[in-house]
Chain A
Amino acid sequence: MLWRIAMILSAGLVAMPVAVIAASLLGPYSAAWTHLLDTVLLDYIVNSLLLMLGVGAGTLLLGASSAWLTALCEFPGRRVFSWALLLPLAMPAYIIAYTYTGLLDFAGPVQSALRETFGWHYGDYWFPPIRSLGGAICMLSLVLYPYVYLLARIALLEQSPALVEASRSLGRSAWQTLFRVTLPLARPALAAGVSLALMETLADYGTVAYFGVSAFTTGIFRTWYGLGELHTAAQLAAFLLIFVLVLFALERHSRARLRFHKMHSARPPSRIQLRGWRAAAASTTALLILTAGFLLPAAQLGVWAAQHYNSVFSAAFLALLGNSFLLAALASLGCLLLALLLGYGKRAYPGRLETGVTRLASMGYAVPGTVIAVGVMIPFAWMDNTLDGWLQQTLGVSSGLLISGTLGTLVFAYVVRFLAVSLQSVEAGLTRIRPAIDESARSLGQTPLGVLRRIHLPMLRTSLLSALLLVFVDVLKELPTTLILRPFNFNTLAVRAHELASDERLAEAALPALAIVLIGLLPVILLTRSMSPEPTET
């Protein structure tokens, strides 16, 4: 009972900012709506749908193939690739967009060299325009596929090899087994990874704005900044939320009657030994993904950073490092704790209320950070001001703003924004534990907390670690929420990188951007060390 109350209360608290945004739907609909409907809204919607389609396909393709290769095949370099393929995660989408634009734009080195070599001029030749919808799909897919990769890889590693063997012994080929057995069994993990990537895509503003792609977020911010109508912008964000809710409900509905529990198996998966051209193709594929998503943009950042090392690096830079690290650590722990509370609560008490609040609480990921920040700001400032007003009336003292503008508010906003990420990993892990285990433990006298601590936590170790890692890296990269909710004189690496980049001083932004990537490496390495194949069920 206590668990359920804690669950509903905390999920309610986290859902509050989203509810504040959704509540805008009740308010008046201004004349700006007529303008939007008459002119640009359709364009925004179509572009966002195309973007989602592209990024969904892109992340699924890159994530699932690389997960399958590193989890179930053996080829030269597999060990290195199995952790290195996570690296693009640490690359903020707008930063990778800047680096590729620097390289591939009309005025960049590649096209300039082509023109010089062949004596071409503008209009003489065709080159894929990087700043386009297609370019945005590529950039987002390259940095978001690790969500799919990480979750799918865990699922594949934990799959029982007995199923594959059964399929093979019944006459299926290796490829048939992959598409008929292995991947369908990993569907919850694939779906979780792709939905994270899609939510992040819908919330992205930096990349689409830079590429001049008019996506739905463009509409939100244009309405707010350009038309000065925050309320209408919130209504647009609320429609985005409804869309995401419906989409994910459909996905869940389509697999509602399937169950994906882990079979008894203490064996690590047996890997397919690739040889000859197959091994070469596997290594090349992994290397290409890694190069495009990480090595190339990181090298470009490195070149820029080397040029500007002196102008940016200082003692203040270390403070930025410390602040970024602190925020990321606090938020990822907070998210993990809450994800456990909710994910496990939903499993133990699958009531409508519990499921509903949990779903609502994880919607923050699909909302642009600045909009979430407003959703956090409104109730907090209201509480502060109400308390202050009450104290002034009754006691004649002023409390001022107690929680608004503190680090606590900022960490709370991160939890609102990134809970979905940790929840998806935890839930993906939980679905693979058979309820029979819970039932036997409960029947042996364990409390729900006892089941969680003694049985689930050890079995979930990898999922929990990945939940920590994903949020940690996400917070490191996070910009808009930090920018607007932070306390006075509090800077992070992402803030610094953005200040330089927004002034179009990309080269100087490279050092803080590179630092984000490097700190992001630490948890990636920690995680992979604990992710090596091991007996997962005891």
Chain B
Amino acid sequence: MVRLHTRIRRATLLLILLALSGLTACGAPDAVNVYSARQEALIQPLLEKFTAETGITVNLVTGNGDALLARLENEGDNSPADLFLTSDAGNLYRAQAKNLLQPVTSPALQAGAPAHLRSDENYWYGLSVRARVLVFAAERVDAADLSDYTSLADPVWRDRICVRSSGNIYNQSLVAGMLASDGPAATASWLDGFVANFARTPQGGDRDQIKAVAAGQCDVALVNSYYLGGMLQSDNLAEREAAEQVTLFWPNQAGRGTHINISGAGVTRAASKPEAARQLMEFMLREDSQRWYAQVNNEFPVRAGVEPSALLQSWGSFEADALNVSELGRLNAEAVKAMDRAGWK
């Protein structure tokens, strides 16, 4: 038992030392601290390049966007975070609404992100574009029958549509986008028709919807395009085969354009290194970074003139919805309520 006691004492000491060492890590002079809802693998190489070029090291915590937002909010003015990076517009909108970001601007930032993909008061900037598209089984569906999202509420699609849960942010922002352009009444009646057409209770992720179309469980699925890209490039033969059996369709080309969301970033109000944080954003919007940042996850660059990957180009060009993405954040709660009322699980 004596041994156990000394061991416990040693562990306690270690704990204190570790806690103290954690403190010093954030105080380094040439460092910028990032809270990121985008996964480490999808940004780390770019951050390393930034460090190599500027000598500024980047410290990173990744996690769920809403939870990181809660951390930022509770830490208040003393938060160590300089930059808040998210994988959707909604959390940037919320961070701005809670007064956790500060406006930052420069010619490089303005030239990088087009006006509808950044906050109109320069609180945050989009970094990449993610599109919500349709995939369909070509042997069971004629592409001529597909047009826009709203037509998916037609009874011809009864029991033929797969989509994931309404808990998913991209479904929420799709509905928020509809609320913004079509209004609540039209959106509600669309939701009723759309939900009635589900082939199964919403479940799984976007890749699962693609697999379900390939396997014949449904004919059309609503997914983010980068999942199809990821499956086509997968090491796993079954995933590749499933992806090759479906065809991508760009919805809303005759109307307001395909629904898009962004990943983006904003400098925190508490930032102790706002300059370095701005530099990092500018770096991420630079042409070469944009190419890498979009390609690593099969997304589209925000910066005009930067070509997407060859795979994405093979899907053809598309018109994207020009709605300012902050509207998606503003209407997100309304969208969730509408989906609840329609019984979209």
- A residues adjacent to B (C-beta < 8 A): 35, 39-40, 101, 105-107, 109, 111-112, 121-122, 131-132, 209-212, 214, 218, 221-222, 224-230, 307-308, 311, 329-330, 333-334, 337, 370, 373-374, 377-378, 381-382, 384-385, 388, 398, 400-408, 411, 453, 457-458, 480, 483-491, 495, 499-500, 502-505, 507
Query: A16 CB to closest chain B CB, in angstroms?
Result: 14
Q: Would you call B204 and A35 a contact (CB within 8 A)? A: no
Q: Would you call B67 and A502 a contact (CB within 8 A)? A: no
Residues of B within 8 A of A112 (CB): 215
Q: Would you call A35 and B340 a contact (CB within 8 A)? A: yes
Alpha-carbon distance between A402 and B77 when the two chains are bound, in angstroms: 13
Q: Is B172 an interface residue (CB 8 A)?
A: yes
Q: Would you call A228 and B80 a contact (CB within 8 A)? A: no
Alpha-carbon distance between A122 and B60 when the two chains are bound, in angstroms: 46
Residues of B within 8 A of A334 (CB): 11, 15
Residues of B within 8 A of A384 (CB): 75, 78
Q: Is B66 an interface residue (CB 8 A)?
A: yes
Q: Would you call B340 and A212 a contact (CB within 8 A)? A: no
Alpha-carbon distance between A438 and B49 when the two chains are bound, in angstroms: 65
Query: A230 CB to closest chain B CB, in angstroms?
Result: 6
Instruction: Find residues 13-69 in chain B having any chain A CB closer than 8 Å to their own CB.
Output: 14-16, 18-19, 22-23, 25-26, 33, 39-41, 59-64, 66-68
The total of interchain contacts (Cβ-Cβ below 8 angstroms) comes to: 190
Given contacts A330-B15, A401-B80, A484-B67, whether A489 and B62 have CB atoms under 8 Å apart is no
Residues of A within 8 A of B206 (CB): 504
Q: Would you call A131 and B204 a contact (CB within 8 A)? A: yes
Residue of B164, B211, B336 touching A227 (CB-CB under 8 A) = B336
Q: Which residue of A lies closest to B210 (CB)?
A: A107
Residues of B within 8 A of A218 (CB): 167
Residues of B within 8 A of A483 (CB): 62-64, 67
Residues of B within 8 A of A491 (CB): 40
Q: Is the interface of A mostly helix, strand, loop or mixed?
A: helix
Residues of A within 8 A of B216 (CB): 121-122
Q: Would you call B236 and A307 a contact (CB within 8 A)? A: yes
Alpha-carbon distance between A407 and B17 when the two chains are bound, in angstroms: 10
Query: A311 CB to closest chain B CB, in angstroms?
Result: 8
Alpha-carbon distance between A212 and B165 when the two chains are bound, in angstroms: 7
Alpha-carbon distance between A384 and B74 when the two chains are bound, in angstroms: 10
Q: Which residue of B lies closest to A485 (CB)?
A: B71
Residues of B within 8 A of A405 (CB): 22, 26, 71, 75, 80
Interface centre among A384, A388, A398, A408 (most CB of B within 10 A): A408
Query: A536 CB to closest chain B CB, in angstroms?
Result: 16
Alpha-carbon distance between A486 and B39 when the two chains are bound, in angstroms: 15
Alpha-carbon distance between A191 and B119 when the two chains are bound, in angstroms: 55
Residues of A within 8 A of B234 (CB): 507
Given contacts A214-B345, A307-B236, A488-B59, whether A504 and B230 have CB atoms under 8 Å apart is yes
Residues of A within 8 A of B169 (CB): 225
Given contacts A212-B203, A480-B67, whether A400 and B235 have CB atoms under 8 Å apart is no
In the complex, 30 of the A-B residue pairs with CB atoms within 8 angstroms, ordered by the A residue number, are A40-B340, A106-B215, A107-B217, A111-B215, A112-B215, A122-B217, A209-B167, A212-B202, A227-B337, A228-B90, A329-B11, A330-B11, A374-B70, A377-B70, A377-B74, A377-B75, A381-B75, A382-B74, A402-B23, A405-B26, A406-B22, A484-B68, A484-B71, A487-B22, A489-B61, A490-B61, A499-B40, A503-B39, A504-B227, A507-B234
Alpha-carbon distance between A485 and B72 when the two chains are bound, in angstroms: 11
Q: Would you call B11 and A489 a contact (CB within 8 A)? A: no
Residue of B8, B41, B79 touching A401 (CB-CB under 8 A) = B79
Q: Which residue of A lies closest to B171 (CB)?
A: A226
Query: A424 CB to closest chain B CB, in angstroms?
Result: 20
Q: Which residue of A lies closest to B343 (CB)?
A: A39
Query: A84 CB to closest chain B CB, in angstroms?
Result: 28
Residues of B within 8 A of A107 (CB): 208, 211-212, 214-215, 217, 242
Q: Is B256 an interface residue (CB 8 A)?
A: no
Closest 5 CB pairs of A and B: A212-B203, A408-B19, A488-B59, A226-B336, A406-B22
Extra pairs beyond A209-B165, A504-B206 (16, CB < 8 Å): A109-B238, A112-B215, A212-B164, A214-B345, A225-B66, A225-B167, A227-B333, A228-B90, A388-B78, A401-B78, A408-B15, A411-B15, A483-B64, A484-B71, A485-B71, A504-B227
Alpha-carbon distance between A214 and B113 when the two chains are bound, in angstroms: 38
Q: Is B268 an interface residue (CB 8 A)?
A: no
Alpha-carbon distance between A491 and B33 when the two chains are bound, in angstroms: 15
Instruction: Find residues 255-290 in chain B having any chain A CB closer than 8 Å to their own CB.
Output: none
Residues of B within 8 A of A504 (CB): 205-208, 227, 230
Given contacts A211-B203, A407-B22, whether A502 and B39 have CB atoms under 8 Å apart is yes
